[in-house]
Amino acid sequence: MRLIFVRHGETVENVNDIAQGHSPGKLTEKGKRQAQQVGELLKKILIDRIYVSNLKRAKDTAKYIQKYHSNARVVYDSNLRERSMGIYDGTSHLITNHPVRKSGLTYDNFKPPKGESLHDVDRRAKSFLQELHKRPKNETILVVSHDGLINLILKHIFRIPRNGKKYYPIKNAAVTILDIESNKSPKVHKLNSIQPLKN
């Protein structure tokens, strides 16, 4: 199975250091150009199925890719959402006041009011991977999601503990392409790769 992961393009909230969480997010003009270039990069790859986070910033990014793959089935999946920061979603309060440090908890165990702990998000990542394991092994699958969720999925694929030191901060519109076979290490074609923007 070939897996292609794409993080959404740059958003207004990314630029302004706003914790997006489950808020929609709005692509900047740069984010739209990033998504267009990813679409062009992937247009010659035969994609069988496209899984997309059902948050607006991911859906808007996916549209630029989907237009080249009209025969691929598109599935919008809430399991692919970014971590909810609850009352901090859509605000800069989380970043400016560091409530994790104030709480005395680790980022892993911190659960914002009305939000998710990292453990909660990891359960979603596992659930999505279980869904992928049911797919035919010869499929090529595209996943359009978010930094936190893609990072957790990659940790499972590479068998890195969730609290392991290795972390892949996924860049906006970064592309990861892996070939997965049972009981074998993934073959990496691209890892967190971004395309230089054209003028």
Give CA separation, 168 vs 78, 113, 147, 152, in Å: 22, 26, 8, 9
Is 40 one of the catalytic residues? no
| Choice among 8, 22, 69, 146 that is catalytic | 8
State yes or no: is 139 an active-site residue: no
- Buried (b) or exposed (e) across 170-191, using 16+ Cβ within 10 A? bebbbbbbbebeeeeebeeeeb
DSSP readout, 61-129? Answer: HHHHHHTT-TTSEEEEEGGGSPPP-GGGTTBSHHHHH-HHHHHT--TTT---TTS--HHHHHHHHHHHH
d(CA 155, CA 149): 10
Q: Are strands 2-7 and 73-77 parallel, antiparallel or unpaired?
A: unpaired
d(CA 184, CA 199): 41
CA distance 4 to 2: 7
- Out of 22, 82, 116, 146, the active site residue is 82
| Residues tagged active-site | 8, 82
